[in-house]
Amino acid sequence: MDFPAGRPLVSSPAAVLDAMMARGAAFLGTRYAILGGAMSWVSERHLVSALSNAGAFGVIACGAMMPDRLAEEIAATQALTDKPFGVNLITMHPNLMELVQVCLDAGVGHIVFAGGIPPGPALKAAKEGGAKVICFAPAFALAKKLVRSGADALVIEGSEAGGHIGPVSLTVLAQEILPGIRDVPVFVAGGIGRGEAILSYLEMGAAGVQLGTRFVCATECVAHPNFKRAFIRGAARDALPTVQLDPDFPVIPVRALQNEGTKRFMEHQAEMVRRFKAGELSKEAAQLDIEHFWAGALRRAVVDGDVENGSVMAGQSVGMVTQEQPVAEILSQLMDQAAAALRQRSERI
């Protein structure tokens, strides 16, 4: 076969990567199909704008913010970047509809619903207001249902991730969900710390990736120096899910670095179960007390720097966080690693 003169037969790895990321990047309006996963107290104006300015997609973590506070954070982020960014809303927030309206009024282009399947009216309001809606899909059946309900993109997050987690690893979720969902872009999250992994998930059909842990030690991130130091010291095996002591008292699994707080949580559960069995507390009161143990604990670690008693939410990729670096440097390292892996593969063939 003849090829036009002067045109290279093989594209550069960077160009191939761009092509593999094209669908996800077009959906986000970014250079790279990489989302900075929203992290409560961490993903505020500085980290979010730095991610978007560097070519990725920053996402503000609304967490428990009330509508006025969210409006202020969005405006402050818009003052720092003219690039697209999103807002992550927790579906059980009591003011969810107002928060959606705040995003729409501010012209936020992408709303990420997290923490459960979004209520129909919130999803409808977001879409009718012109925003693209991104939802978390914890299983294939739910992924299909979310697409039918109007989700414009999905995130599948494996149990390797930091923070609140489901039971299934990304390795398995990716195999179960990526081949079956073609109508909308699917971004994968959980345990991604290097470019080689990004390349592999793109090859499996992901439109892009979402990373959280890897961006905590960004220079632009406002997390307390103690929080960042804990990440730099931490190894994959230190980032463990919370353990439920008694089958009758459910505990939502949260992956975090082990510390005094995680030890005390076990003792606290044991004490509440003991008091319930001794008739000193009702079951509801004991359960509520167990749930309240971690209230405010992420803020204590991220903002106040109490990494002994606070909740140091971190994913298993924490072992790949070795220094504080600007966001742009982290992104170019990830892209270089992906490009090098692609080059090596083509040399092996």
Ligand X SMILES: Cc1cc2nc3c(=O)[nH]c(=O)nc-3n(C[C@H](O)[C@H](O)[C@H](O)COP(=O)(O)O)c2cc1C
Give me the residues that bind ligand X (CB under 6 A), please.
37-40, 42, 61, 63, 88, 114, 157, 160-163, 189-192, 210-214, 313-315, 317
DSSP H or E run through 130: none
Q: Which is nearer to ligand X, 133 or 286 (CB)?
A: 133
Q: Which is nearer to ligand X, 318 or 342 (CB)?
A: 318
DSSP string of 245-286, one letter each residue: --TTS----EEEE--HHHHHHHHHHHHHHHHHHTTSS-HHHH
Q: How far is the CB of 265 from ligand X (least distance, A)?
A: 17
Q: Which is nearer to ligand X, 16 or 174 (CB)?
A: 174
Q: Which is nearer to ligand X, 58 or 191 (CB)?
A: 191
* 312 backbone dihedrals φ, ψ, rounded to 5°: -95, 70
Q: Which of 303, 328, 335, 302 is nearest to 81 (CA)?
A: 328
DSSP string of 198-219, one letter each residue: HHHHHHTT-SEEEESGGGTTBT
Q: Which is nearer to ligand X, 16 or 202 (CB)?
A: 202
Select the residue whose beta carbon is closest to ligand X and give its number. 212
d(CA 210, CA 9): 32
Q: How far is the CB of 90 from ligand X (least distance, A)?
A: 6
Beta carbons within 8 Å of 23's beta carbon, 6+ residues apart: 33, 185, 207
Q: How far is the CB of 114 from ligand X (least distance, A)?
A: 3
Q: How far is the CB of 5 from ligand X (least distance, A)?
A: 45
Are 307 and 230 in contact by the 8 Å Cβ rule? The answer is yes
Q: How many CB atoms lie within 10 A of CB 26?
A: 12
Q: How far is the CB of 336 from ligand X (least distance, A)?
A: 19
Angle at 114 between CA 301 and CA 258, to 5 degrees: 30
Q: How far is the CB of 296 from ligand X (least distance, A)?
A: 14
Q: Which is nearer to ligand X, 52 or 210 (CB)?
A: 210
CA dist list (Å): 132 to 122, 129, 172, 190: 12, 9, 27, 22
Q: Which is nearer to ligand X, 109 or 166 (CB)?
A: 166
Q: Is 344 helix (H, G, I), strand (E, B) or coil?
A: helix
Q: How far is the CB of 213 from ligand X (least distance, A)?
A: 3
